[in-house]
């Protein structure tokens, strides 16, 4: 990491300065993988291969991947109901993710969790959460563990704009700050809590303004700009690892799809959606990488094709996987002795 050393003389975007070409191409691959995974999941849902519901993060891929850019498997994340991107960004295998969505025994949660509880504990993903704000105190607890156990790990707590009005948000930020815990609160502000816009639900103009109430740095960045997110989280991680406590990073972004599969999109206009689709974080990052010679059109196409291949292989794995044995419906409720 030489970003801060070179900043004065190097006007290239943070990510280009901070990461190796391999890391950057890997990030583009993960962004494509999230997009193709969610399109594949949506298609599988339409075909009746996936039941229940799901919350797609299409349009928010930069936030997930740039936030997780510097995290290791020892660093933890807590995720949200819109958590597929976080899971992939943290390093999960899409085959096991699809298997979970298909309700298969080979899924990350052995078919017990589905989309809303997708997790991969081995890569530090403590799980998506079906309760808005549910992961916030858990993230603070994970950071407490790191501090008490003398580890330098950080915990990144993803949450949406909707969660910023939950009591759990306020209690969690307060405790993290009082105890100076190594946690980075990352708000993915996609501007709607289901149908209710941030303006109609939230008294402050920017969610990052709330950081001041808990004596921590708060910053709002363009959440569709990979470099902007990566730089903000980089600084927050550094502060956390140095023992200086938590930060709040607000990634301003937009979900292209509805809240869930029941959404009729009656609360926002076609023009608004199209405007944001013109701010596609993947296209922007791809263009940036090509402009800085990290890859070229053919190279980027190959990266995208690799993501498609991974997605298709993942679906094939899920289809071929065994279903759970219905006699094991109570398995995993308690530890097996």
Partner 1 sequence: MNAVPQDTALRTLSYAEAIREAMAIAMEADPAVILMGEDIGVYGGAFQVTLDLVDRFGPDRVMDTPISELGGAGVAVGAALTGLKPIFEFQFSDFAMLAMEQIVNQAAKLRYMLGGEASVPVVFRLPSGSGTGAAAQHSQSIEAWFGHVPGLKVLQPSTPADAKGMLLAALADPDPVMIFEHKLLYKMKGPVPAGHHLTPIGKAAVRREGSDLTIVAGSIMVHRALEAAGRLATEGISAEVVDLRSIRPIDHETILASVRKTGRLMVVYEGVKAFGVGAEISALVAESDAFDFLDAPILRLGAADAPVPYNPDLERASVPQVDSIESAARRLARREV
Cα–Cα dist 27/228, whole Å: 14
CB of 52 to partner 1, least distance (A): 13
Site string for partner 1, 154-173 (x = CB under 8 A): -------------xx-xxx-
What are residue 183's DSSP bridge partners?
155
Nearer to partner 1, 178 or 291 (CB): 178
Q: Confirm if 139 and 179 have CB atoms less than 8 A apart.
A: no
Q: How many residues bind partner 1 (CB under 8 A)?
A: 48
Nearer to partner 1, 58 or 126 (CB): 126
Cα–Cα dist 170/173, whole Å: 5
Our finding on whether 178 is near partner 1 (CB under 8 A) is: yes
For partner 1, which residue of 59, 85, 103, 127 counts as binding (CB under 8 A)?
A: 127
Nearer to partner 1, 79 or 253 (CB): 79
Residues 191-250 that bind partner 1 (CB under 8 A): none
92 three-class SS: coil
* Residues contacting 303, CB < 8 A, separation 6+: 25, 28, 29, 32, 295
For partner 1, which residue of 130, 267, 299, 312 counts as binding (CB under 8 A)?
A: 130
Q: Which residue has the tokens 């994340």?
A: 77
Strands 192-193 and 196-197: antiparallel
Nearer to partner 1, 32 or 169 (CB): 169
The span of 82-90, 175-183, 205-213, 238-246 binding partner 1 (CB under 8 A) equals 175-183
Q: Confirm if 37 and 84 have CB atoms less than 8 A apart.
A: yes
Our finding on whether 78 is near partner 1 (CB under 8 A) is: yes
Tokens of 221: 């960045």
Q: Which residue has the tokens 């949406």?
A: 160
CA angle 332, 336, 337 (to 5 degrees): 165
Our finding on whether 136 is near partner 1 (CB under 8 A) is: yes
Nearer to partner 1, 89 or 175 (CB): 175
Task: Name the residues that contact partner 1, by CB under 8 A.
Answer: 76, 78, 107-113, 117, 119, 121-122, 126-127, 129-131, 134, 136-146, 148-149, 167-168, 170-172, 174-175, 178-179, 330-336
């Amino acid at each position: 990491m030489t970003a801060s050393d070179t900043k004065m003389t190097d006007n290239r975007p943070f990510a280009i300065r901070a990461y190796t070409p391999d890391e950057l191409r890997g990030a583009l691959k993960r962004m494509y993988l999230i997009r193709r995974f969610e399109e594949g999941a949506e298609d599988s849902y339409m075909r009746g291969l996936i039941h229940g519901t799901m919350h797609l993060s299409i349009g928010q891929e930069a936030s997930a991947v740039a936030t997780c850019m510097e995290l290791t498997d020892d660093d933890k994340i807590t995720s949200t109901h819109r958590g597929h991107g976080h899971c992939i960004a943290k390093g999960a295998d899409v085959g096991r993710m699809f298997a979970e969505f298909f309700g298969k025994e080979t899924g990350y949660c052995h078919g017990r969790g589905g989309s809303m509880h997708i997790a991969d504990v081995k890569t530090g993903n403590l799980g998506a959460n079906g309760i808005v704000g549910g992961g916030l105190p858990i993230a603070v607890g994970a950071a407490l563990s790191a501090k008490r156990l003398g580890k330098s790990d950080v915990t990144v707590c993803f949450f949406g704009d909707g969660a910023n009005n939950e009591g759990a948000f306020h209690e969690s930020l307060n405790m993290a700050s009082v105890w100076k815990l190594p946690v980075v609160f990352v708000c993915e502000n996609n501007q709607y809590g289901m149908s209710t816009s941030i303006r109609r639900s939230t008294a402050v103009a920017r969610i990052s303004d709330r950081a001041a109430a808990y004596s921590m740095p708060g910053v709002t960045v363009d959440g569709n700009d990979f470099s902007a997110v990566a730089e903000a989280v980089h600084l927050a991680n550094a502060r956390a690892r140095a023992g200086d406590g938590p930060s709040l990073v607000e990634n301003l972004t937009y979900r292209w799809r509805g809240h869930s599969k029941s959404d009729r999109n009656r609360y926002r206009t076609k023009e608004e959606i199209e405007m944001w689709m013109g701010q596609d974080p993947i296209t922007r990052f791809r263009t940036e990488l090509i402009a800085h010679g990290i890859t070229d059109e053919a190279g980027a196409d190959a990266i995208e094709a690799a993501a498609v291949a991974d997605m298709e292989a993942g679906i094939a794995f899920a289809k071929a996987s065994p279903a759970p044995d219905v006699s094991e419906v109570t398995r995993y409720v308690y530890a097996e002795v």
